[in-house]
Amino acid sequence: LFRHKLHVNPDIFDDILNQISDHPIFHNNSNNPQLPVSIQLAIFLNHAGHYGNSITLEDAAQWAGVSVGSIVNCTNRIIIALLDQHDTFMGFPSHDSEDFEHAWRYTAQATTCPEWQNCILAVDGTTIDLYATPGFYHQVFYDRKSKYSLGCQVSSLYFIFQLKIKNKFKAAIMPHNLLIVDYSLGHPGSVHDAYALRSTHLYHEHDTLLPAGHWIWADSAYPLNTWCIPPFKKPCNGRLTANQRTFNFHLSSVCFFYLHFFLI
């Protein structure tokens, strides 16, 4: 029931609570004290974890037993507290960090061939659906799934994902713990993944962010570079060779793992 309502495990809830409880947004000199931070966090997670008609302000207020204004205030306070933690948890780890070491070890055990051990990141895109049709330039937000959205690109250690959130969001994620190390968010949903990738730090600073001889995995939407390896594309009026099909077959298992991340 806890996960069904808040979409996190209780231990994760406690970790988040410990990180934000001391934020000054939760402390004021008003004669009307705020709700406990734990209650505000629960309200926010319930509010953020549902979509559309299933989570109107009135429904959230009835569920929490508070006023509609309290739902808005709690949501705003939690967002402010979480955003102030951004630089603490979002960033590209150094090459000698523990996260990189774990990612290398994980990759060595999980990859299908030793030559792939130097790929500890993956990139992919996803979209974030918009609740309503934008009032201005709505055509550019109309994506290939016939929805209005924002795009997201995500990069992660051992996997780099591009999260497409109907306003394109790109991110990079680590394979052993799904740690997002880079992302971009803000492109309309119609923007191609390859173009949205250009908004990430990884695209512009791959020479310094990636160790020598390392690269990231990507799907066929991305261009081939020395630091970005997509599957082989079938040539026009031609066929892939046996070796190319074998490469794509094994790479598909890696990409499936990235897809699992986005489903999570």
Amino acid, res. 226? T
Query: In the chain, what is the straight-line distance between the N-terminal and C-terminal CA atoms, in Å?
Result: 18
Query: Dihedral sign, CA of 58, 61, 65, 66?
Result: negative
pLDDT in tens, the chain (264 residues): 788 888 888 998 999 999 999 999 998 877 888 999 999 999 999 988 877 667 788 988 999 999 999 999 999 999 999 999 988 877 787 888 877 777 777 666 665 577 777 887 888 888 888 878 999 999 999 998 899 998 888 777 643 333 333 344 455 555 555 677 888 888 999 999 899 999 988 899 999 988 888 888 888 889 999 999 999 998 888 899 999 998 888 877 665 455 444 444
Cα distances (Å, whole numbers) of residue 256 to 3, 58, 124, 159, 161: 25, 39, 11, 11, 11
Distance, C-alpha 257 to centroid of its chain: 14
Q: Are 185 and 169 in contact (CB under 8 A)?
A: yes
How much is the pTM? Answer: 0.70
Q: Which two structure tokens, joined as six digits, stand for 216?
A: 């990231």
Q: Is 165 helix (H, G, I), strand (E, B) or coil?
A: coil
What are 31's two structure tokens?
């004669």
